[in-house]
Amino acid sequence: MLLDNRVIAITGGAQGLGLAMAERLGRRGATLALLDRDGERLDEAIGGLAHAGIKVHGFVADVAEEGSVREAFSAIESSLGHIDGLVNNAGIVRDGMLVKARDGRVESTMSLSQWQSVIDVNLTGVFLCGREAAARMIEAGREGVIVNISSISRAGNKGQSNYSAAKAGVAALTVTWAGELARHGIRVGGVAPGFIETEMTASIREDMLERITSGVPLKRLGQPEDIAESVAFIFENDYFTGRIMECDGGLRL
């Protein structure tokens, strides 16, 4: 897909990887619809991108809420006419061990709300936005591309039962949707980032980060631009669908 004048929605676009994707796709001519739940941060992001000459619009939305997602996609269609692409990027972490115990005594467990909040945003949010975007692309009779952001943790990662399960689900949705939607001219790809320098990883303890980095063959954390480039590749390569692109500096968990 040539990006010039394509309308691409990015969830969680107000910061981190989503913002870097907006910049990368915008510089290649796409018009961006950024969805995020914090209106102020969204305004700030839009101001910066517009200043750089990028065509961008903001929509406050919670991807975990069906009504909010419907409203946001209707608003995108009303103001921008149609939608050609979606990046399912919004995500959260609520890490914790399934059961934390010492000397045979349980100290804590992962709570149901810790589990559910991550499943709601990282998995149900992807389902809701993907369904909405695909339905609108098909009704408009337009080809489209959906990119889902999974994670290296999809293979399973200690302390991330909730996150790993959601990201494995996102990888499975990518394959499923690619099969279902190809006949409508819609490609679906995924990106599985390793550890990337954003707010999400800023909360990891310094010694933990050093341990992680020492295990990365390239000996550094990734930059948001590295992931933005992977997303752009999927948009632009018309034979890419149903696969997850790993961009992790060679790290294996």
Interacting residue ranges for ligand NAP, rule: CB under 6 A: 11-12, 14-18, 35-38, 61-64, 89-92, 121, 125, 149, 151, 193, 195-196, 198-201
Question: What CA–CA distances, in Å, run from 253 to 81, 103, 119, 153?
Answer: 43, 27, 21, 8
Residues 126, 148 contacting (CB under 8 angstroms): yes
Q: Could you tell me the smallest distance in angstroms from the CB atom of residue 17 to ligand NAP?
A: 4
3-state secondary structure of 40: helix
Between 223 and 237, CB nearer to ligand NAP: 223
Between 106 and 112, CB nearer to ligand NAP: 112
Q: Could you tell me the smallest distance in angstroms from the CB atom of residue 8 to ligand NAP?
A: 16
Between 18 and 144, CB nearer to ligand NAP: 18
d(CA 228, CA 213) in angstroms, rounded, equals 20
Indicate which residue of 59, 73, 115, 163 is catalytic. 163
Q: Could you tell me the smallest distance in angstroms from the CB atom of residue 93 to ligand NAP?
A: 7
Between 110 and 121, CB nearer to ligand NAP: 121
Q: Could you tell me the smallest distance in angstroms from the CB atom of residue 6 to ligand NAP?
A: 21
Tokens of 80: 């921008």
Q: Provide the sign of the torsion angle of the four alpha carbons 133, 135, 141, 146, taken in this order.
A: positive
Tokens of 39: 């209106």
Q: Which residues of 205-239 are buried (b: 16+ CB within 10 A; e: fewer)?
A: eeeeeeebeeebeeeebbebebbbebbbebbeeee
Question: What CA–CA distances, in Å, run from 45 to 50, 166, 226, 249?
Answer: 9, 27, 19, 27
d(CA 68, CA 66) in angstroms, rounded, equals 6
Q: Could you tell me the smallest distance in angstroms from the CB atom of residue 49 to ligand NAP?
A: 14
Name the H helices within 156-223: 161-181, 199-202, 206-215
Between 44 and 236, CB nearer to ligand NAP: 44
163 flagged as catalytic: yes
Q: Which residues are catalytic?
A: 163
